[in-house]
């Protein structure tokens, strides 16, 4: 009972304290915000903003971080997630807005650095345009699918889809990814389990790993009857993924705590059961980390290959618009690549949640 007044007093002291901190924070936010606006305007007024742009940008960024941290301290726990989300999405949006303004006011050269609105317009134009000469479009004009289906059935739909740059790239990546990942994981498991195979192949794998896959593309082309067809493109992707997955899976298998292997053996698991119940699930976290990296590599390889030698694909269209001096659409192509990256990563994360339900 005697503790009650004491703790109440403590609480009161704490409240007074935090209120004081709040006030100080509020003042600091106003001061910092006002200060940086004045700083930028002053630089502008004396005509020094452009030569000192880097300084101004860094100073503004640092000030913005300080302001946001103070705002973050005042946010109630309930509003916390909203605050974090607005920080995560708000900042990139703010950068885009500044880019837009800088372009509109002529501070940057919009011929080579077109502002977001122009890139968006370019992207829209690419989506709706059908290139009669090459017989391609960005997405394959999905709005025509019902019509094509009623006229020519599935063949008509197929004809539409096969004109798509995005689908061409996605199918190359996915087929190459699967053709590389499955044998890569298998060989990785074997190399992880068997020391002899590991010693025999490890050096070669490490050597091929550092080789830029684009550099062996010319040789890969020679393997196929049609060097300009889909075969070589898919194979380089598969090769890059294969090497990465072999290395990662091997590391994953070797990293399994030995006590799990002992437990598996002691409880009577035979070779196949050991694989299914102990080794593969034990290596799964590292395998998925590898798949994530391999996906990025696969995108890099396919875009490079399409830059180099392709008549279709997102990489091709991006490079094509650079060659015909249409930067808006070149940027739009890069945006498509990034969107594809995000989508494929989500797909992989979904797969990971399905296959590793034990992972927190």
Stretches 7-15, 209-217, 234-242, 271-279: which one binds another protein (CB under 8 A)? 271-279
> With 0-12 CB in 10 A as exposed, 13-18 as middle and 19+ as buried, what is 154?
exposed
259 binds another protein (CB under 8 A): yes
156 binds another protein (CB under 8 A): no
Size of the site for another protein (CB under 8 A): 21
193 binds another protein (CB under 8 A): no
User: Of these, 54, 88, 270, 324, which contacts another protein (CB under 8 A)?
Assistant: 270
Stretches 113-121, 244-252, 258-266, 338-346: which one binds another protein (CB under 8 A)? 258-266
β-partners of residue 164 are: 137
User: Of these, 47, 106, 268, 271, which contacts another protein (CB under 8 A)?
Assistant: 268
Instruction: Kindly report the backbone phi and psi dihedral angles of residue 67, in degrees, each rounded to the nearest multiple of 5, phi listed first.
Output: -65, -50
Stretches 16-24, 177-185, 209-217, 280-288: which one binds another protein (CB under 8 A)? 280-288
68 binds another protein (CB under 8 A): no
Query: Is the separation of the CB atoms in 180 and 237 below 8 Å?
Result: yes
265 binds another protein (CB under 8 A): yes
Contact positions with another protein (CB under 8 A) in 228-257? 257
48 binds another protein (CB under 8 A): no
Q: Which is nearer to another protein, 278 or 340 (CB)?
A: 278
Helices (H) and strands (E) in the chain, counts: 15, 2
Q: Classify residue 162 by its DSSP letter.
A: T
The dihedral built from the CA positions of residue 316, 292, 284 and 202, taken in this order, carries a sign that is: positive
Q: Which two tokens stand for residue 185?
A: 């994981």
Residue 258 Cβ, how far from another protein at the closest point, in Å? 10
User: Of these, 44, 89, 143, 267, which contacts another protein (CB under 8 A)?
Assistant: 267
282 binds another protein (CB under 8 A): yes
- Give Cβ neighbours of residue 201 (< 8 Å, ≥ 6 apart): 187, 191
Q: Which two tokens stand for residue 347?
A: 């797909």
Between CA 22 and CA 27 the distance in angstroms is: 9
User: Of these, 161, 189, 245, 278, which contacts another protein (CB under 8 A)?
Assistant: 278
Residues 287-309: b if buried by 16+ CB within 10 A, e if exposed: bbebbeebbebbbbbbbbbbbee
Q: Summarize as ranges the residues that interact with another protein (CB under 8 A).
A: 257, 259-260, 262-263, 265-270, 273, 277-278, 281-282, 284, 356-358, 360
């Amino acid at each position: 009972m005697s503790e009650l007044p004491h703790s109440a007093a403590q609480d009161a002291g704490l409240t007074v304290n935090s209120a004081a901190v709040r006030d100080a924070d509020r003042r600091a936010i106003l001061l910092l915000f006002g200060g940086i606006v004045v700083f930028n305007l002053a630089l502008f007024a004396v005509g020094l903003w452009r030569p000192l742009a880097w300084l101004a940008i860094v100073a503004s960024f640092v000030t913005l971080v300080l302001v946001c941290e103070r705002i973050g301290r005042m946010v109630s726990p309930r509003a916390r997630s909203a605050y974090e989300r607005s920080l995560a999405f708000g900042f990139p949006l703010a950068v885009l807005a500044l880019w837009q303004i800088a372009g509109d006011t002529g501070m940057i050269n919009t011929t080579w650095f077109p502002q977001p609105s122009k890139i968006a317009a370019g992207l829209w134009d690419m989506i709706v345009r059908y290139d009669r000469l090459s017989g391609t479009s960005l997405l394959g004009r999905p709005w025509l699918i019902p019509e094509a289906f009623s006229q020519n059935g599935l063949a008509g739909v197929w004809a539409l889809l096969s004109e798509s740059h995005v689908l061409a790239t996605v199918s190359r990546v996915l087929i190459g990814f699967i053709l590389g990942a499955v044998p890569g994981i298998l060989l990785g498991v074997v190399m992880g389990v068997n020391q002899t195979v590991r010693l025999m192949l490890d050096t070669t794998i490490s050597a091929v790993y550092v080789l830029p896959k684009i550099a062996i593309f010319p040789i890969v082309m020679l393997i196929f009857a049609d060097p300009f067809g889909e075969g070589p493109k898919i194979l380089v992707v598969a090769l890059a993924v294969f090497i990465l997955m072999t290395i990662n899976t091997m590391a994953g298998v070797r990293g399994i705590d030995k006590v799990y292997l002992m437990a598996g053996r002691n409880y009577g698991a035979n070779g196949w059961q050991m694989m299914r119940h102990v080794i593969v699930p034990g290596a799964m976290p590292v395998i998925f980390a590898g798949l994530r990296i391999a996906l990025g590599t696969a995108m890099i390889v396919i875009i490079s290959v399409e830059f180099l030698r392709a008549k279709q694909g997102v990489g091709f269209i991006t490079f094509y618009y650079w060659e015909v001096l249409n930067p808006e659409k070149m940027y739009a192509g890069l945006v498509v690549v990034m969107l594809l990256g995000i989508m494929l990563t989500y797909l992989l994360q979904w797969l990971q949640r399905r296959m590793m339900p034990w992972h927190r």
